[in-house]
Structure 1
Amino acid sequence: MNTTTKTALLILATCWAAQGTAAEWHYEGPHGVEHWGEQFVTCAEGVNQSPVDITETLSAELAPLHIDYQGQVSELVNNGHTIQANVSGQNTLTIEGETFTLKQFHFHTPSENTIQHKHYPLEAHFVHANPQGNLAVIAAMFESGPRGNPALKTLLTRLPKNGDRITLSDALSPVSLLPREREYYRFNGSLTTPPCTEGVRWYVMKEPQASTPAQTSALQEIMGSNARPVQPLNARVVLQ
């Protein structure tokens, strides 16, 4: 393993550790969003931070997202910041000749990314990594609807309390939480949680899924409001 790969994997491990440690940061209070930069410099000084408000875009010939999720959700974890779904089996994203493996997906209420200044009630982030440790995140929005999402209903049957995890017995493919239409917005960004590491490829799906108010409320009641405010776009361009 070369030095570049070791460094990338170390960054990846640090990101997972920071997401899973509830005591180091929060969304409110003395360790809330406005204080993240005191412990995690990139959160304050990074110039390619996420989330963003998608308003002006540049039309481009974007490569299709080849999503091949053959596995299933294996467990739900409440890490004190979000409800995270861990997966098993082979679940890959291939884009522009590179293949990324799905590591986990998790939820934010309300949405972190916004489109034309609009927050959606719920956003899911599907976090992928390639062998070099580079990250790619697919973001799926959920808007309020009377029927909701059947897969989301199954997922929310029982939610773990803070620090707990639940093994799932029902076979549930993570692809069932993604929209069928795969058009997306593309930009370079960061993790939306400390250490706010940059170099993350973002793919925000255009077509929203549906969640009932009860489904969204169930998540928000156990997670709280866990959306980082939108960050300056600076010199970046959002492609579509």
Structure 2
Amino acid sequence: MKEKLLLAVMLAASFSVGAAEKPLHWGYEGQESPEHWGKLSPDFTLCESGKNQSPVNIHDALRTHHSKLALAFRQGKQQIINNGHTIQVNVSDGNTLSTGKETFTLQQFHFHAPSENEIDGKQFPLEGHFVYQNKEGALAVLALMFQEGEANPQLAKAWQQMPAKIEQAAILTQPVDIKALLPEKFNYYRFSGSLTTPPCSEGVIWMVLKQPVSASDEQIRQFHAVLHHANNRPLQSLNGRVIID
């Protein structure tokens, strides 16, 4: 199961794009839009039938004492890529997330505009997803909301080399300082969910940071101008899931 989940996220998020790879036939518009994902391929059936799907509207969270997030950061080589579905930054080893006894290593981070998850019915203009994986192949996603405000200097480092064409990639001359990109406090909501792209594999730990950071209107428009369409999956039913505060 975990091996399949790892393969799924590699395909869905396009960790690397090779010349011999066939394009993924799903998207956000027309006959390949989210409402059709479950019928596009037998591998995508969870997009339609899954009961623990993401994203969700976070509300009525259960207050409890869940594990604090311990994040470690290491500057290293970063590759930015336009995979046609998002703008993604692949990172080198050394960035980790620990919750209690579990430790996950950051693989990549990417963006959705507008936000996929909502907090008490509020949608944000941009959302970042930091995709982590542990040694067993389980996945955890740390979600960061951006609200319109001052220009974000860390986002600017990535945006200045944002590839305009699909399958274009570049090594960032100024790597994003992930620690500086994230808010000072790591208070978060936690729930069990799925990938928000086909094949919509479940069993993904979601941690949505409560505190948003800023991005300018121009930075948000730059992202839209490159993708040419919104890239957010619609909200999915909780189906009885409990969100932990």
Q: Which TM-score band applies after superposition, normalised by the shorter structure? A: over 0.9
User: Contact conserved, 1:142 with 1:211, CA < 8 A, in 2?
Assistant: yes
The residue correspondences of 1:56-95 to structure 2 (distance < 5 A) are: 56-72=60-76, 74-95=78-99
Q: Shift of the alpha carbon at 1:56? A: 1.1
Question: Which residue in 1 is equivalent to 2:209?
Answer: 205
Confirm whether residue 54 of structure 1 aligns to residue 49 of structure 2. no
Q: TM-score, normalised by structure 1?
A: 0.93
Confirm whether residue 227 of structure 1 aligns to residue 232 of structure 2. yes
From 18, 38, 42, give the equivalent of 2:12: 18
Question: Which residue in 2 is equivalent to 1:238?
Answer: 243
Q: Shift of the alpha carbon at 1:149? A: 1.3
Q: Distance in 2 between matches of 1:100 and 1:230?
A: 26
Q: How many residues align?
A: 233
User: Contact conserved, 1:73 with 1:172, CA < 8 A, in 2?
Assistant: no
Identity of aligned residues (%): 44
Q: Distance in 2 between matches of 1:22 and 1:215?
A: 28
Relative to structure 1, is the Cα distance of residues 11 and 171 closer, same or farther in structure 2, using a 3 angstrom cutoff?
closer
Q: Distance in 2 between matches of 1:67 and 1:85?
A: 18
Q: TM-score, normalised by structure 2?
A: 0.91
RMSD between aligned alpha carbons?
1.3
Partner AA of 1:152 in structure 2: L
Partner AA of 2:231 in structure 1: N
Q: Distance in 1 between matches of 2:134 and 2:101?
A: 12
Q: Distance in 2 between matches of 1:124 and 1:163?
A: 20
1:117-151 alpha-carbon deviations (Å, 9 max, x no partner): 11100000000000111000000000000x22110
Moved over 6 A (4+): none
What 5-or-longer segments of structure 1 have no aligned partner? 1-6
What 5-or-longer segments of structure 2 have no aligned partner? 15-21
1:212-233 alpha-carbon deviations (Å, 9 max, x no partner): 0000111111122000000001
User: Contact conserved, 2:155 with 2:176, CA < 8 A, in 1?
Assistant: no
Is the deviation greater in 68-77 or in 157-166?
68-77
Question: Which residue in 1 is equivalent to 2:100?
Answer: 96
